């Protein structure tokens, strides 16, 4: 039922009697979740209860109220959905390295199942938590369609090199999900409802970056957004996806980032739809190949979060142009306040600040201009990551680290014609955007029209 390559046992401890804990972390959903399904399978095989734990880390680099609110409002729904399945759901606030082991001891757990993330914070948490447990610990890739470690065993060079590897395994892994079963009632006692208000009070976060109202958090909301995209926008995706005025994109990235929807479920729904084949193919290229390539980059490159991770050719060319004169230089504060000389860049930054999402085509332009207008590439990288992660609902994601590394460091790209500041890193300019879409209309839509 669950492909064995999707699961890794991270130690060789003996299975004990006691509940199976699913530590829900990256994949915050009840349906279409291979990690939860595997935990259920373990619990049924051993006739032991299944319980779900969410460890709320009360502060996280760059995560603000906007992100926490989107996450917690979904977790409230997860609690209710699990209740209807008679699966106990607990929240512990604090550091996973102390909370997880004490929770496992308190509940006399027999095994722990975790979902997979390639990011360092998660790898460090897991190492610290699992080192303290004397029960079997499993990791399940519930985020990628082809598990990250199966798709490739090495750092891939580009979409061209990973594409055949992923496509070659899709028949095996792109399968329909079974439904989670309701747990037998004599198996478990449901815990007291979670006190969400109290949890909000415990957060030590930036509350100035406010929640947004254009997108509703949660699995059900994500499903509605997917259906709306398939019905109204998917057909024209191939032609219109690069036009920020057209609203042709899916808006699924916040849900994907928080694991509120499964990429595998989306891919199956896209395949089933009657939209034009070209649009379906282009969309699946982004959702499957580009997204899973980003996980590959972060998993196999420990320097994914800095310029140290980029290719030698890119380092060399950026170094050669390190001292080139910059026509404009801005501080982080000037970038953050969207007060550069460029109305298009400012409009994109304002969209990010207000909406918590920037159109994908503009994201490339936006990051490349940061390279052009900062004193050195390292400052550019840090600035782009900081702004992306602080304001974007889908920030702090492998896609974000990889997107910035692509824009500023040529990752997954090739050398282009040499020019000042950029060297051989691909360049983008305002006139290129004018050729692609109605720039004035976009600027106007952000309420700051000027030329």
Ligand X SMILES: Cc1cc2nc3c(=O)[nH]c(=O)nc-3n(C[C@H](O)[C@H](O)[C@H](O)COP(=O)(O)OP(=O)(O)OC[C@H]3O[C@@H](n4cnc5c(N)ncnc54)[C@H](O)[C@@H]3O)c2cc1C
Binding site for ligand X (CB under 6 A): 241, 249-253, 256-257, 286-287, 290-291, 294, 360, 363-364, 367, 388, 392, 394-395, 397, 399-400, 403-404, 406-407
Helix, strand, coil content of the chain in percent (nearest 5): 50, 5, 40
CA distances from 385 to 101, 371, 388, 433 (A): 32, 12, 5, 22
Q: What torsion do the CA atoms of 183, 185, 191, 194 make, to the nearest 10 degrees?
A: 60
Residue with Cβ nearer ligand X (42 or 287): 287
Residue with Cβ nearer ligand X (6 or 291): 291
Name the minimum Å distance from CB 394 to ligand X. Answer: 4
Distance CA 250, CA 125 (A): 32
Residue with Cβ nearer ligand X (43 or 388): 388
Name the minimum Å distance from CB 354 to ligand X. Answer: 16
* CB hemisphere CA count around 365 (13 angstroms): 25
Residue 212 CB neighbour total at 10 angstroms: 16
Name the minimum Å distance from CB 62 to ligand X. Answer: 11
Name the minimum Å distance from CB 236 to ligand X. Answer: 12
Name the minimum Å distance from CB 363 to ligand X. Answer: 4
Residue with Cβ nearer ligand X (194 or 307): 307
Residue with Cβ nearer ligand X (49 or 395): 395
Q: What torsion do the CA atoms of 426, 431, 437, 441 make, to the nearest 10 degrees?
A: 130
CA distances from 204 to 61, 201, 258 (A): 11, 8, 20
Residue with Cβ nearer ligand X (33 or 144): 144
DSSP assignment string, 363-429: HHHHHHHHHHTSSSHHHHHHHHHHHHHHH-TT-SSHHHHHHHHHHHH-TTS-----BTTTBTSPP--
Terminus-to-terminus CA distance in the chain, angstroms?
Answer: 58
Name the minimum Å distance from CB 411 to ligand X. Answer: 11
Name the minimum Å distance from CB 346 to ligand X. Answer: 16
Residue with Cβ nearer ligand X (149 or 391): 391
Q: At what angle do helices 398-409 and 291-300 cross, to 10 degrees?
A: 90
Element (H, E) at 93: strand 89-93
Residue with Cβ nearer ligand X (25 or 253): 253
Helices vs strands, H then E, count in the chain: 21, 6
Residue with Cβ nearer ligand X (257 or 280): 257
For the record, the structure tokens of 341 come out as 């000389």
CA distances from 199 to 70, 433, 450 (A): 14, 44, 44
**CA 302 remoteness from chain centre:** 17
Name the minimum Å distance from CB 57 to ligand X. Answer: 19
Name the minimum Å distance from CB 37 to ligand X. Answer: 22
């Amino acid at each position: 039922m669950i492909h064995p390559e999707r699961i890794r046992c991270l130690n060789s401890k003996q299975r004990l009697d006691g509940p199976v804990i699913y530590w829900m972390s990256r994949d915050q959903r009840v349906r279409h979740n291979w990690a939860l399904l595997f935990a259920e399978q373990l619990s049924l095989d051993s006739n032991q209860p299944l319980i779900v734990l969410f460890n709320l880390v009360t502060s996280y680099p760059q995560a603000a109220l906007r992100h926490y609110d989107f996450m917690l409002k979904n977790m409230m729904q997860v609690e209710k959905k699990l209740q209807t399945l008679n699966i106990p759901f607990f929240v512990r606030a604090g550091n996973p390295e102390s909370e997880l082991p004490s929770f496992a001891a308190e509940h006399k757990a027999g095994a722990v199942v975790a979902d997979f993330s390639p990011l360092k914070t998660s790898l460090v948490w897991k190492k610290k938590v699992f080192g303290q447990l004397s029960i079997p610990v499993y990791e399940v890739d519930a985020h990628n369609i082809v598990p990250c470690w199966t798709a490739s065993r090495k750092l891939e060079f580009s979409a061209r090199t990973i594409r055949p590897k992923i496509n070659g395994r899709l028949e095996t892994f792109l399968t329909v999900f079974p439904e989670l079963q309701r747990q037998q009632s004599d198996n478990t006692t449901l815990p007291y409802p979670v006190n969400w208000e109290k949890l909000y009070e415990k957060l030590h976060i930036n509350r100035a970056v406010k929640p947004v109202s254009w997108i509703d958090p949660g699995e059900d909301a994500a499903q509605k957004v997917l259906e709306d995209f398939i019905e109204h926008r998917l057909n024209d995706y191939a032609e219109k996806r690069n036009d920020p005025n057209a609203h042709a994109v899916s808006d699924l990235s916040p849900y994907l980032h928080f694991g509120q929807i499964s990429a595998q479920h989306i891919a199956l729904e896209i395949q089933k739809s009657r939209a034009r084949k070209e649009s379906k193919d282009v969309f699946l290229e982004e959702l499957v190949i580009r997204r899973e390539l980003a996980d590959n980059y972060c998993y196999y490159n420990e320097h994914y979060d800095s310029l140290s991770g980029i290719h030698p050719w890119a380092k060399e060319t950026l170094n050669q142009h390190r001292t080139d004169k910059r026509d404009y230089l801005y501080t982080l504060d000037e970038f953050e306040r969207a007060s550069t000389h460029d109305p298009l860049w400012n409009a994109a930054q304002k969209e990010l600040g207000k909406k918590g999402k920037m159109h994908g085509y503009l994201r490339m332009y936006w990051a490349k201009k940061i390279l052009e207008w900062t004193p050195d590439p390292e400052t550019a990288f840090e600035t782009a990551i900081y702004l992306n992660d602080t304001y974007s609902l889908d920030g702090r994601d492998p896609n974000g680290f990889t997107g910035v590394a692509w824009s500023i460091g040529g990752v997954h790209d090739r050398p282009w014609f040499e020019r000042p500041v950029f060297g051989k890193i691909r360049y983008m300019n305002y006139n290129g955007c004018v050729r692609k879409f109605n720039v004035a209309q976009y600027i106007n839509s952000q309420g700051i029209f000027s030329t």
